[in-house]
Amino acid sequence: MGPGPSDVSPRVLNALGRSTIGHLDPAFVMLMDETKALLQYAFQTKNSLTLPVSAPGSAGMEACFVNLIEPGDKVIICINGVFGKRMVENVIRCGGEPITIDSPWGQQTSADKLELALKSHQKVKAVAMVHAETSTGVRNDVEQLCAIAKNYDCLTIVDAVTSLGGIEVNVDKWQIDAIYSGSQKCLSCIPGISPVSFSEHAVEIIKQRQHPVQSWFLDMNLIMGYWGEGSRSYHHTAPVNSLYALHEALLILKQEGLQNAWNRHKQLHQKLVAGLAEMGLSMLVEPDARLPQLNTVRVPEGIDEARVRKVLLEEFQLEIGAGLGELSGKVWRIGLMGHGCSQRNVDYCLAALKSVLK
Ligand SMILES: *Cc1c(COP(=O)(O)O)cnc(C)c1O
């Protein structure tokens, strides 16, 4: 029950153990087509360039930046936690010029701040933001921020690593041009795969680049030859078994239904928060901005937070997360992600925490 990886369901673990077949085997190509359709469902998009990058969420992040950002490009980055800061690093390494909007950790990025930044800078190419800030437990209002960015003709780049499968993500309706997620948070798959999706507009921009993408491995112009429509050619050996697992995890999500999955996360989050409140524990984030899948709980005065986590792990086999960066020592992060988001886990976590704190 930490910030990820989350519990992987037995169905997914079983899928992982199927025989390995060739990455161009017709049966595997069928599985690729199905996986793409399932990802389009999860992301709520018709984007044809929707695929799993063969590497963790950080590679999905990098794929979005290296393909869209060229030397000299200005990019506005909304920062209110660890993952926004990483986007800045990506832009710098692409030779781009980052313009940052900083908001306090634990609060949302405000629409006014973005509007002001867009008014005061000319020729901004893209606006980047994190939907679910796993370091703080804040949900940023991606729909609203993307609508503002679009008023200024900017591309929109969104980190949905922790949001996908846990709260609403609607790529087409929210006008997102490039989005990346991760397999090991609310999709409850094994770590190491990063679903991405690019809009038609983003694809045009990638095809018309002045400079070749500086990463050969993540160059979408080349990856399209393997994951695109029509004949498929070798680019790299796909992580065949990991993709069996992702396919199964996405199938589980589709069978439950997106809306049901979001409702489950929300309801169990409310039960967890109510139970914590009974123990006198409070949350870092205001109710409207809270992520159901990542609960940041304030450490009470006089409690050694690291010792609490150590006892939970050793005596209750329960992992919860520590605070990151400036929240280090001040909060715990309790994950309710995907398969791990269950009534049983909420009850167990509350009982264990109560016992340890006593
Ligand atoms: C976990 C996470 C990442 C990084 O994913 P990895 O699979 O660890 O590379 C990026 N962004 C957010 C918001 C995350 O929670």
Give per-residue pLDDT as tens, 85-124.
999 999 999 999 999 999 999 999 999 999 999 999 999 9
Q: Which fold has domain 10-255?
A: Aspartate Aminotransferase; domain 2 (3.40.640)
The CATH label, of 3.90.1150.10, 3.40.50.300, 3.30.70.640, 3.20.20.70, for the domain at 258-357 is 3.90.1150.10
**Cα angle: 29, vertex 32, 35; to 5 degrees:** 155
Ligand 1 pocket test, candidate residues 62, 83, 295, most atoms within 8 A of CB: 83
Q: Rounded mean pLDDT of the chain? A: 97
Listed in order, strand segments (DSSP E) in 91-153 are 97-102, 124-130, 132-133, 138-139
Residue extents of the structural domains in the chain = 10-255, 258-357
Contacts of 216 (CB under 8 A, 6+ apart): 222
Distance (Å) from CA 58 to ligand 1 centroid: 6
Is the whole-model pTM more than 0.95? yes
Residue nearest to atom 8 of ligand 1 (CA): 57
Backbone angles phi, psi at 45, to 5 degrees: -145, 155
What gap in Å lies between CA 296 and CA 328, rounded to an integer?
Answer: 11
Which strands form 331-335's sheet, in the order they lie side by side? 294-298, 331-335, 321-322
Do 332 and 320 contact (CB within 8 A), yes or no? Answer: yes
Residue nearest to atom 12 of ligand 1 (CA): 161
Do 24 and 232 contact (CB within 8 A), yes or no? Answer: yes
Q: What is the pLDDT of residues 215-248, one digit of tens each?
A: 999 999 999 989 887 778 899 999 999 999 999 9
Cβ < 6 Å from ligand 1: which residues? 4, 56-58, 83, 130, 132, 134, 159, 161-162, 182, 191
Kind and range of the H or E run holding 331: strand 331-335
What gap in Å lies between CA 300 and CA 308, rounded to an integer?
Answer: 11
Distance (Å) from CA 61 to ligand 1 centroid: 9
Distance (Å) from CA 27 to ligand 1 centroid: 31
Q: What is the pLDDT of residues 284-303, one digit of tens each?
A: 999 999 999 999 999 999 99
Q: Give me the count of residues in the chain.
A: 358
Kind and range of the H or E run holding 151: helix 142-151
Only one residue has tokens 């990886």, namely 5
